[in-house]
């Protein structure tokens, strides 16, 4: 018999449980838990798995619509894309592991999100990453950036799925806590989606994939805590990934699903075997018995505690049709992966964990999942932002050069060129545009992908910042010619026990929900990552929005590449809003004023106009950070031709008013475009033209080759 540690207040605290939560466990069990049971409760009741601080507010989000096949609660969301096909997608965080061990932390983040997708029967077709790092000058930033980018590339490239978009930002708030948000999407037949709810009593519970080791033990609990100077001690909680095993696991699962053997299936992610078994049982209203001596292990002498909390990668749990056991085993033998019956479903509300005949845990299953704590944390609304202080005189040429050479707004090619973005041969628009676009294989349809958030806005005005994140994703899809379908979110915040942080969360949720409703982009999946703090200093609120859109034909794609001789047209109203702008942050080191307010009705109207105008225009680009000047310069670089804009004024050129687009088109098409704008009530103004070898903003002129070199050289110079 294994001697287990005595449960002390210090041990309880080390497991991320409060004294009140431990008392709640005792009351629920009518006894003290064993050490293994304490670990199981710790795994299931942490923020990462239980969403105990966020559930109340997540329920307010719009999650349904005629396009939604499956909303939040499964491994990933599912939307209908017509012709009997479905898109399965989700975004989730691997923030804490990536800060502790950048390469493996980021790599296993990719592995985990891919499993979420193919667990549901989909074949992955695209990934994205939204990355937030500290200041470029910070001593850890260079190693974090290089490690994370290498880890993403190493795993994704070996697995063989294109990385087609994402985000990259740098800000001092992430100095002690980088963010690595991973997105994956896959295709499946709409009538062949696999879910995680177990069904049937006495059905075999089967372990699939790689063997269990000690890596990642306590990972979910670690991801639900702040960092301090003991961070290096947490390195063993980071998982180690093997993309080649993952590839075999996907192929084996795809083959297995075609046999009819699968009743339910769940990947082993956060909290490993514990979470997957409990969630399958809870969703199916059943109990689960596990016999741990049957679990394939790669390390000798593993305890029940270690096996239940290990987060070793490339593993799945399945409830199997018993008559198909031989067929299923043959599939996994073929792919040289472990297949072991490790338990069964039971009728009682019970999670029974045994090892060599010894009971290691005997718990009411509902207490672990359905009855997990749920908190209504105290929260303070974010105070209205003070008016922006006076802005010094700005030289437009110098301002543009400063922005376009900033690591925050320079070309991301140094990053995405390290990823395989064309594998599978269906990539139509590569990273670096408003949205990446992938053909639906064997059809003329395509899917567009984007991710967005502006954390400065979210801190200054969480409601408008939340709206803006969704609205910018909407604009990116529309500017690419895609009809927005749905969203996934990755809500990254600091400590929810601080009322001001919880207030940011509540405000952002309000804004996100309002925008998703008006723009018809329901949230179908997502992730919450809290406690992103180091030594009490939190990150900027960063509710990343991943969005997908549908193109009925590849001919509907709108690119951001103008032709020389095109005129330049501005869609939307310009007031010259400079509060919380990129100009303030990059040129003056200031983050004052209010965030720009979002008119959701205008966003929808203007986006639909751009899509309707696709036959008249050469190119489109949405306006966001850096305003009109930065967007026009990006189009000029893409088209390898200069651009001239006559109007001057800092607010006009660099303001970040929302709901706006730049369109490039032949001059002869302007009357028809103007008529369409008048018919739909869309503000439209001709403001310039493409051509020549310079970027001209009023009286300020920059050679295009200088701007291009600055744009492309910033990241290689900083991190190459």
pLDDT score for 225: 52
Name the residues annotated as catalytic.
48, 94
C-alpha radius of gyration, the chain, whole number: 26
The DSSP bridge pattern shows strands 523-529 and 483-492 to be: parallel
Using the 8-state DSSP alphabet, how is residue 434 labeled?
Answer: S
SS (H, E, C) 370-395: CCCCCCCCCCCCCCCCCCCCCCCCCC
C-alpha 572/C-alpha 451 separation (Å) is 22
Any idea what the Cα angle at residue 574 is, between residues 130 and 641, rounded to 5°? 65
Q: Enumerate the β-bridge partners of residue 662.
A: 570, 621
Residues 6+ apart with CB under 8 A from 562: 568, 618, 619, 635, 636, 638, 639, 641, 643, 664, 690
């001001």: which residue's tokens?
500
Which of 36-50, 296-310, 442-456 has the largest mean confidence?
A: 442-456
C-alpha 355/C-alpha 303 separation (Å) is 9
User: In this structure, is the dihedral angle defined by the CA atoms of residues 141, 145, 147 and 152, taken in order, positive or negative?
Assistant: positive
CB 323 within 8 A of CB 306: no
């978009």: which residue's tokens?
165
| Pure H helices in 19-137 | 19-29, 35-45, 47-50, 55-58, 95-100, 102-118
C-alpha 318/C-alpha 208 separation (Å) is 7
Mean pLDDT over residues 338-351, rounded?
96
- Helical packing angle, 102-118 and 243-257, nearest 10°: 10
Tell me what the pLDDT averaged over the chain comes to.
94
């053997």: which residue's tokens?
261
pLDDT score for 271: 78
Residues 6+ apart with CB under 8 A from 80: 66, 67, 68, 69, 86, 190
Residues of the chain with pLDDT > 90, as a percent, come to: 91
CB 645 within 8 A of CB 568: yes
Q: How far is CA 539 from CA 221, 238, 491, 497, in A?
A: 19, 21, 12, 15
SS (H, E, C) 464-512: HHHHHHHHHHHHHHHHCCCEEEEEEEEEECCCCCCHHHHHHHHHHHHHH
104-124: per-residue pLDDT in tens? 999 999 999 999 999 999 999
pLDDT band at 226 (very low <50, low <70, confident <90, very high): low
Q: Enumerate the β-bridge partners of residue 344.
A: 204, 289
pLDDT score for 562: 98
CB 58 within 8 A of CB 528: yes
User: Does residue 244 have a pLDDT over 90?
Assistant: yes
Q: How far is CA 454 from CA 7, 540, 709, in A?
A: 44, 9, 26
pLDDT score for 369: 85
pLDDT score for 3: 73
Using the 8-state DSSP alphabet, how is residue 297 labeled?
Answer: B
C-alpha 542/C-alpha 540 separation (Å) is 6
Bigger pLDDT: 486 or 534? 486
User: Does residue 13 have a pLDDT over 60?
Assistant: yes
Q: How far is CA 222 from CA 40, 94, 168, in A?
A: 14, 11, 25
Mean pLDDT over residues 635-662, rounded?
97
Query: Dmax of the chain from CA atoms?
Result: 85
SS3 311: coil
In this structure, what token pair is assigned to residue 691? 């051509």
pLDDT score for 235: 45
User: Does residue 606 have a pLDDT over 60?
Assistant: yes
Which pTM was predicted? 0.95
- Helical packing angle, 325-334 and 243-257, nearest 10°: 150
In this structure, what token pair is assigned to residue 186? 């896959």
pLDDT band at 237 (very low <50, low <70, confident <90, very high): low
Mean pLDDT over residues 382-391, rounded?
95
180-190: per-residue pLDDT in tens? 999 999 999 99
C-alpha 369/C-alpha 212 separation (Å) is 23
C-alpha 633/C-alpha 627 separation (Å) is 10
Q: Which of 148-162, 271-285, 610-624, 638-652 has the lowest mean pLDDT?
A: 271-285
- What burial letters (b/e) apply to 596-621, b meaning 16+ CB within 10 Å? bebbbebbbbbbebbbbbbebbbbbb
Residues 6+ apart with CB under 8 A from 388: 578, 579, 584, 592, 593, 594
Q: For the chain, what's the residue count?
A: 720
C-alpha 662/C-alpha 562 separation (Å) is 10
The phi and psi torsions of 622 (rounded to 5 degrees) equal -80, 155
Stated as kind and residue range, the H or E segment containing 637 is helix 627-639
559-591: per-residue pLDDT in tens? 999 999 999 999 999 999 999 999 999 999 999
User: Does residue 90 have a pLDDT over 90?
Assistant: yes
The DSSP bridge pattern shows strands 315-320 and 204-209 to be: antiparallel
pLDDT score for 695: 98
How many Cα atoms within 13 Å fall on the side-chain side of residue 129?
A: 36
CB 64 within 8 A of CB 98: no
User: Does residue 23 have a pLDDT over 70?
Assistant: yes
CB 546 within 8 A of CB 488: yes
Bigger pLDDT: 237 or 6? 6
Burial (CB count <10 Å: 0-12, 13-18, 19+), residue 193: middle
pLDDT score for 720: 82
User: Does residue 19 have a pLDDT over 70?
Assistant: yes
Mean pLDDT over residues 128-151, rounded?
97
């Amino acid at each position: 018999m294994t001697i287990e540690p005595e449960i002390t207040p210090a041990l309880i605290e080390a497991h991320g449980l409060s004294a009140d939560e431990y008392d709640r466990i005792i009351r629920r069990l009518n006894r003290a838990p064993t050490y293994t049971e304490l670990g199981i409760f710790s795994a299931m009741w942490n923020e990462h798995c239980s969403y105990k601080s966020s559930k109340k507010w997540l329920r307010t989000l719009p999650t349904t619509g005629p396009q939604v096949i499956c909303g939040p609660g499964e491994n990933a969301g599912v939307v209908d894309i017509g012709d009997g096909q479905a898109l399965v997608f989700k975004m989730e965080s691997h923030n804490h592991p990536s800060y502790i061990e950048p390469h493996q932390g980021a790599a296993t983040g990719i592995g985990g999100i891919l499993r979420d997708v193919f667990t549901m029967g989909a074949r992955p077709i695209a990934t994205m990453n939204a990355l937030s790092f500290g200041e470029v000058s910070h001593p850890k930033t260079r190693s974090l950036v290089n490690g994370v980018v290498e880890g993403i590339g190493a795993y994704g490239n070996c697995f063989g799925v294109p990385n087609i978009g994402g985000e990259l930002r740098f800000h001092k708030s992430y100095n002690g806590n980088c963010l690595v948000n991973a997105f994956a999407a896959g295709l499946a037949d709409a009538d062949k989606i696999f879910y995680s709810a177990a069904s049937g009593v006495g059905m075999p519970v089967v372990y699939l994939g790689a063997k269990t080791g000690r890596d990642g033990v306590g990972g979910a609990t670690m991801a639900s805590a702040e960092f301090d100077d003991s961070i290096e001690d947490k390195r063993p909680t980071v998982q180690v990934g093997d993309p080649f095993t993952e590839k075999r696991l996907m192929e084996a699962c795809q083959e297995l699903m075609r046999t009819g053997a699968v009743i339910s299936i769940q990947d082993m992610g956060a909290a490993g075997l514990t979470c997957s078994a409990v969630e399958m049982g809870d969703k199916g209203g059943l109990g689960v018995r596990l016999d741990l001596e049957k679990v394939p292990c790669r390390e000798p002498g593993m305890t029940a505690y270690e096996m239940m909390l290990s987060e070793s990668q490339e593993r799945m749990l399945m409830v199997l049709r018993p008559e198909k056991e031989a067929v299923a085993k043959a599939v996994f033998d073929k792919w040289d992966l472990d297949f072991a019956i490790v338990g069964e479903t039971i009728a009682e509300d019970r999670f029974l964990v045994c090892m060599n005949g010894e009971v290691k845990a005997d718990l009411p299953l509902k207490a672990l999942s359905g009855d997990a704590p749920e908190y209504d944390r105290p929260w303070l609304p974010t105070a209205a932002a003070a008016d922006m202080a006076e802005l010094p005189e700005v030289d437009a040429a110098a301002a543009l050069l400063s922005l376009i050479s900033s690591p925050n707004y320079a070309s991301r090619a140094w990053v995405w060129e390290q990823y395989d973005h064309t594998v599978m041969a269906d990539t139509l628009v590569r990273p670096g545009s408003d949205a990446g676009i992938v053909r639906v294989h064997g059809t003329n349809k395509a899917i567009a992908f984007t991710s967005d958030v502006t954390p400065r806005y979210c801190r200054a005005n969480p409601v408008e910042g939340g709206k803006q994140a969704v609205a910018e994703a909407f604009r990116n899809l529309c500017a690419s010619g895609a009809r927005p379908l749905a969203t996934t979110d990755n809500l990254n915040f600091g400590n929810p026990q601080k009322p001001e942080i919880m207030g940011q969360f509540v405000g952002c949720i309000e804004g996100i929900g309002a925008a998703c409703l008006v723009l018809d982009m329901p949230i179908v999946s997502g992730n919450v990552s809290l406690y992103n703090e180091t030594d009490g200093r939190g990150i900027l609120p960063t509710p990343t929005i991943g969005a997908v859109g549908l193109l009925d034909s590849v001919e509907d794609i709108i690119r951001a590449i103008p032709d020389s001789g095109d005129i330049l047209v501005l869609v939307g109203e310009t007031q010259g809003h400079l509060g919380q702008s990129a100009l303030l942050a990059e040129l003056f080191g200031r983050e004052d004023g209010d965030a720009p307010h979002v008119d959701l009705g205008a966003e929808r109207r203007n986006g639909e106009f751009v899509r309707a105008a696709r036959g008249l225009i050469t190119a489109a680009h949405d306006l966001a950070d850096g305003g009109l000047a930065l967007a026009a310069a990006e189009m000029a670089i893409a088209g390898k031709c200069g651009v001239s804009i006559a109007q001057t004024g800092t607010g006009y050129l660099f303001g970040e008013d929302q709901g706006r687009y730049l369109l490039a088109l032949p001059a002869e098409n302007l009357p028809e475009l103007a008529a369409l704008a008048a018919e739909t009530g869309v503000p439209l103004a001709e403001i310039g033209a493409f051509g020549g070898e310079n970027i001209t903003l009023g009286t300020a002129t920059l050679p295009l080759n200088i701007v291009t070199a600055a744009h492309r050289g910033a990241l290689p110079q900083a991190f190459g």
